[in-house]
Structure 1
Amino acid sequence: MKTVGRLILSAIFLALTGVMAAAARTAPDAVFAFYPAFSRKVLAAVSSVTAVVPFCIWEVVVLLAVLWLVYTLVRVFRHHGRGILSWLSGIVLTLCVFLFAFVGVWGLNHFGPDVSQQLGLSVREYSAAELTEATRYYAQQATRLASGVRRDEKQVGQFSDFSTLAKQAGKGYETLGQEYALFTGSTDRVKKLASWKLFSHFGITGIFICVTGEACVNPDTYVAWLPFTMCHEIAHRQAVAAEDGANFCAYLACMENPDAEFQYSGALAAYIYCSNALMKADRAAATEIWNSVDPGIRADAQAANEHYAQYEGKVQDAATKVNDAYLKAFSEETGVQSYGEVADLLIAWYQQKAPRT
């Protein structure tokens, strides 16, 4: 009876999850009139509790869950398989409850309004000339800010330690929140992933866990990208689910941060994203701009490539495919390519709202 009861509950939670997803797709105006604000408030409440400890609570929970699964499975086989159905039904119920919580608290944001809509930006298809102009703007911005970062004899950037950056990461969002409702969520500190070696081999620089409200970052992320990555994960806690949107919000937050390291990291990321897009549209223009940037930018880009090269392989390829499938399942049709689509948002921002200096 216990097994049947668990399966019935699993079906109920799964059905409720499906109803929520269907409502978000068929009646988006009604759902997203309240859901993003609801999501931010719930995440802020949960984060205020989990932020009490400096480590990632979800990592501890996962470790304990794995140990418990192994322990209980061993017990099942010691009893010659008796209770295996009950064991499996418990796992199914747990997964269904987690999926329900994920979608109910945060996941529906994948189906919500784009960041461009919420910030009043008009995004369209852009010409190579427009992309070139925007790339040049962000290259000049990064060049101007590069001098604010300490550098070694090879011109590679030297940044503050993880803890210092983590405490500073939310400052930009606090400023943005005074102007945009989108950024009124939690700015609790970013946490360091304890299992960073595993994440490095998977090619993952950060992860947001909505059920604990924790924005977690891989400390092995190349230093010049670390501030930007922290802001990216905090963007997810602002109920921004789309990856291109989170990247764009991270840029805005970095530029509003009073710390020079964050400003440079954000400008560097914006330039790199636009430059990568321009390389496909006009390689000569991209190369010309690349040759004009501050030597520190080229040094950081080269150091980053060398740093990440050590982790390239089949494990990272497999992880990329899993992430691609997840993003496509939640209406990001281009999958992992959505990480690079931030270039369109950056062009729109440059044309419509970026300050001219």
Structure 2
Amino acid sequence: MLKSYHKKRFWAGILLAQFLLFFIFSKLRFAVSFFENLFEIQKKTHQLLFAWIPFSIGDVIYILYGVFLMYLIIKLFRKKTRNKALLKILIVLNITYFIYQIFWGMLYFQTPVILKLPKTDITLEKRKILALEYLKKAKATRGLVQEDQNGVFLIKDLNSIEKEILKQQKNLPRFITSKQTCQINSFKPSLFDDMMSFTGILGYYNPFTAEAQYNTNLPPSYLPFTLAHESSHQLGYAREQEANFIGYLIGVESKNSELKYSTEYFTLKSLLNSIVYEDEKFVKNVLENYSEEMKKDRLNEKRFISEHQGWLNDFFGFTNNLFLKSNQQEGSVTYSYFIDLLVRYKSLDQK
């Protein structure tokens, strides 16, 4: 019993030491740079290992991990196995935390993209001008895509969108990113897509396998930009709003009308969300000026959201918000950082 107690104290101490060590690393520029370089190596290795498999290996790992943890938790309630189970949980947590931090966690402390862009005031007027610009662009691009029998935007070839995203990664502005692009297609449908629809999660990046998972049930207007967003994580952008911005850069200049429309439409919605509390009348006017095709897409999105409301949505929204804030981010309910990046970037057009 005494030996087991000392082992548990040892692993608890190791976990605490890891928290302290990675906190110190997060403050050291050379340490963060080391993990950025390490990410490039593990990303390529993992994509070579897992990309060719037609289903998500990362999701399988999550399932097995969850089952194993549940098994250990059940063991905690049995007196005979409690000590061993607690010891194993501490060991598993140590290993998981260490792998996560070296593969992904430290990337949250990279030099923010915003420092690579010119300073400018993020005024309401500038956001309104951009909203009208992207309304015009989205209306024009919407006329180039296909529709289903209900007049809703239809994706004709998802694979071509994935290839276009990988191609556009190579065209990202060099003053913003020097990250290494990888032309290996590692987009995977999530094994949890039905559950994801009730959580508000559109997609996610698996740092243990370098796979970009997406929800196949999403409205088509969401999906192309979601893929661009997750591909930004694959490039090494950990912060959610920076991944949105890199996804925007990938999609906005695309020759693929489906990707371009989804990106322009996302940008327009983000701008309107940043304006609505300051000028609700303006937002209502923009919504009324959507093309009839865009109005159908918006109605389809609203229908999807209303059909998948529930406690899971609230729970995952709350927990994701806490996670983002714990990793130097604003939280899931704000668009301000993405809009800040967008306005700064667009200010370059006036120079």
Q: When the two structures are superposed, what TM-score results if normalisation uses the length of structure 2? A: 0.88
Q: Which of 278, 282, 288 does residue 275 from structure 2 map onto?
A: 278
For residues 116-154 of structure 1, what are the alpha-carbon distances to aligned partners after superposition, in whole Å with 9 as ceiling and x for unaligned? Answer: 23xx31244422111111111121221221112102454
Q: Give the structure 1 partner of residue 10 of structure 2.
A: 8
Letter in 2 for 1:345: L
Matched position secondary structure for 1:208: strand
Q: Residues of 2 paired with 1:98 and 1:23: CA distance?
A: 18
Alignment check: 8 A CA contact 2:47 2:186 kept: no
For residues 43-98 of structure 1, what are the alpha-carbon distances to aligned partners after superposition, in whole Å with 9 as ceiling and x for unaligned? Answer: 23222212121211122122223444555677787xx6323211221122112211
Q: Give the structure 1 partner of residue 50 of structure 2.
A: 50
Alignment check: 8 A CA contact 1:166 1:230 kept: yes
Offset of 1:8 from its aligned partner? 2.5
Matched position secondary structure for 2:213: strand
Q: Give the structure 2 partner of residue 18 of structure 1.
A: 20
What is the RMSD of the two structures over their aligned residues, measured on CA atoms? 2.7
For residues 271-303 of structure 1, what are the alpha-carbon distances to aligned partners after superposition, in whole Å with 9 as ceiling and x for unaligned? Answer: 111112122222233233333333222221121
Matched position secondary structure for 2:39: helix
For residues 288-336 of structure 1, what are the alpha-carbon distances to aligned partners after superposition, in whole Å with 9 as ceiling and x for unaligned? Answer: 333333322222112111111111122211111100111111122x322
Q: Which moved more, 1:123-132 or 1:246-255?
A: 123-132
Structure 1: segments with no counterpart, 5+ residues? none
Alignment check: 8 A CA contact 1:23 1:31 kept: yes
Letter in 2 for 1:288: N
Counterparts of residues 204-243 of structure 1 (less than 5 Å): 204-243=201-240
Q: Give the structure 2 partner of residue 336 of structure 1.
A: 332
Alignment check: 8 A CA contact 1:167 1:190 kept: no
Offset of 1:199 from its aligned partner? 1.4
Q: Which of 121, 125, 146 does residue 150 from structure 1 map onto?
A: 146
Offset of 1:266 from its aligned partner? 0.8
Matched position secondary structure for 2:339: helix
Q: Give the structure 2 partner of residue 97 of structure 1.
A: 95
Matched position secondary structure for 2:333: helix
Q: Which moved more, 1:7-16 or 1:146-155?
A: 7-16
Q: Residues of 2 paired with 1:324 and 1:58: CA distance?
A: 23
State yes or no: 1:114 paired with 2:112: yes
Q: Residues of 1 paired with 2:284 and 2:75: CA distance?
A: 63
Q: Residues of 1 paired with 2:59 and 2:270: CA distance?
A: 31
Counterparts of residues 264-275 of structure 1 (less than 5 Å): 264-275=261-272
Offset of 1:169 from its aligned partner? 3.4
Offset of 1:168 from its aligned partner? 4.2
Offset of 1:110 from its aligned partner? 1.6
State yes or no: 1:287 paired with 2:284: yes
Q: Residues of 2 paired with 1:238 and 1:134: CA distance?
A: 27
Counterparts of residues 55-66 of structure 1 (less than 5 Å): 55-66=55-66
For residues 171-194 of structure 1, what are the alpha-carbon distances to aligned partners after superposition, in whole Å with 9 as ceiling and x for unaligned? Answer: 221332777544424453311001
Offset of 1:255 from its aligned partner? 2.3
Q: Residues of 2 paired with 1:232 and 1:143: CA distance?
A: 22
Q: Residues of 1 paired with 2:181 and 2:17: CA distance?
A: 29
State yes or no: 1:172 paired with 2:168: yes
Q: Residues of 1 paired with 2:256 and 2:268: CA distance?
A: 19
Q: Residues of 1 paired with 2:105 and 2:349: CA distance?
A: 29
Q: Residues of 2 paired with 1:353 and 1:18: CA distance?
A: 44
Matched position secondary structure for 1:352: helix
Q: Residues of 2 paired with 1:238 and 1:3: CA distance?
A: 43
Alignment check: 8 A CA contact 1:138 1:267 kept: yes
Alignment check: 8 A CA contact 1:145 1:263 kept: yes
Q: Residues of 1 paired with 2:9 and 2:208: CA distance?
A: 22
Alignment check: 8 A CA contact 2:76 2:86 kept: no
Alignment check: 8 A CA contact 2:141 2:260 kept: yes
Q: Which of 192, 196, 199 does residue 199 from structure 1 map onto?
A: 196
Matched position secondary structure for 1:58: helix
Q: Which moved more, 1:263-272 or 1:343-352?
A: 343-352
Matched position secondary structure for 1:176: coil
Alignment check: 8 A CA contact 1:324 1:336 kept: yes
| Pair 3,67 (structure 1): closer, same or farther in 2 beyond 3 Å | farther
Aligned length: 348
Q: When the two structures are superposed, what TM-score results if normalisation uses the length of structure 1? A: 0.87
Letter in 1 for 2:203: G
Matched position secondary structure for 1:336: coil
| Pair 228,124 (structure 1): closer, same or farther in 2 beyond 3 Å | same
Matched position secondary structure for 2:212: strand
Offset of 1:206 from its aligned partner? 0.7
Identical residues among aligned pairs (%): 20
| Pair 42,354 (structure 1): closer, same or farther in 2 beyond 3 Å | farther
Q: Give the structure 1 partner of residue 30 of structure 2.
A: 30
Alignment check: 8 A CA contact 1:132 1:278 kept: yes
